[in-house]
Copies of this chain bind each other. A is one copy, B any other.
Amino acid sequence: MAKRMGTNTLITDTFPSVAGYAAVASKKEGEGPLGRELDVVCEDSYFGEKTWEKAESRMQKDAVSKAIAKANIAVSELDYIFAGDLLNQCIATTYGLRDMGTSFLGLYGACSTMAQSLGMAALFVDTGMAGKAAAVTSSHFCSAERQFRFPLEYGGVRTPTSQWTVTGSGAAVVAPSDEAPYIKAVHFGKITDMGITDINNMGAAMAPAAAKTLEDFFSDTETTPDDYDLIVTGDLGIIGRDLLRELMQRDGITLGKNYTDCGLLVYDRTEQKVESGGSGCGCSAITLCSYIMNRIKSGELREVLFVATGALMSPTSQQQGESIPAIAHLVYLSNNKNAVKGS
């Protein structure tokens, strides 16, 4: 049974494994630094479907299928699937997973969904509520642009603070096993709102939430950034990343060279013209479910804090003059079963 440490950090008792994981993405992601590590790269942004929304559903379905196959289990062995996405009413998820026949728990954490869903899956397996559980999320540049910003045909100019929504889906299957990556702890965050209203600067809106979650986690576990090989946020981009460093420095915590952001790993910022970096639920999902998990599996990375952030606004709240509340959820992944410091 998961043990509570400090305020709200949950240390898993059994260190459940990520038994299988997969990343599905499109052309631009395939051309980026992660290209060769992705399981599927589809040149067609429609993924053979008629609309971008259906394409996004298709990516989720394919990511889950791949992750299940890599975990070497049948879909019928999954007890629960935790999932969500950015589209109104989370339709990428509900249509993508409707034929799976698995108990379904829909989540809405915006771009924090990969951490939220993986954390939930890990806790369900750890407490024995599930034998095996999956986590999945996605985003699609085209479906996100037309829902949150402008029709693509309009060709709106992008600000330097803007980020590029990743077209991709990442999925992970959690199960008891003796193979890394192991999930050692989960910390679900609190909503933070510093009054930022610029929807073209999501990194700045989300950085305070990441700071809050990381600081609470370090305090709960009595650890410091130096205890980890990699601390990686979800999609703060370069502006949010620098702001996070600054915010935490102000509180006396130095994020060193072991800190980076999935929005900077997923694209080559200068070559691929993505302004401040990648974003969207798919950004942290495909980076975690390829590059990061691969390195934990191989032992190149030992102790990893994955902190996905989400901006909890909508076009309606923005039109009504509201600021942008944000949240960050943390999952502590490891390549070993050594006890968590202090637990």
Contacts and interface: CB of A to CB of B under 8 A. Distances in A.
Given A1-B1, A108-B89, A191-B104, A95 B316 contact: no
Interface in A77-113: 79-80, 84, 86-91, 94-95, 97-110
Contact of A320 (B54, B94, B110): B54
Contacts of A98: 191, 193, 312, 325
Contacts of A86: 89
Contacts of A123: 129
A51 B318 CA distance: 13
Given A103-B188, A105-B116, A312-B106, A95 B317 contact: yes
A69 interface: no
Contacts of A2: 127-129
Contacts of A54: 320
A107 B105 contact: yes
A128 B4 contact: yes
B189 A103 contact: yes
A268 interface: no
Interface in A22-64: 50-51, 53-54
Contact of A107 (B91, B106, B110, B327): B106
A337 interface: no
A315 interface: yes
B317 A1 contact: no
A314 interface: yes
B89 A312 contact: yes
A128 B10 CA distance: 10
Contacts of A53: 316-317, 320
A277 to B, nearest CB: 21
Contact of A188 (B97, B99, B105): B105
Contact of A106 (B87, B91, B103, B109): B109
B1 A128 contact: yes
Nearest to A329: B105
22 contacts: A1-B1, A10-B129, A51-B320, A53-B317, A80-B188, A87-B314, A88-B316, A89-B108, A89-B110, A91-B316, A94-B312, A94-B325, A98-B312, A99-B191, A103-B188, A103-B189, A104-B188, A104-B191, A105-B107, A106-B110, A107-B108, A127-B127
Interface of A: 1-2, 4, 8, 10, 50-51, 53-54, 79-80, 84, 86-91, 94-95, 97-110, 116, 120, 123, 127-129, 147, 188-191, 193, 312-317, 320, 322, 325, 327
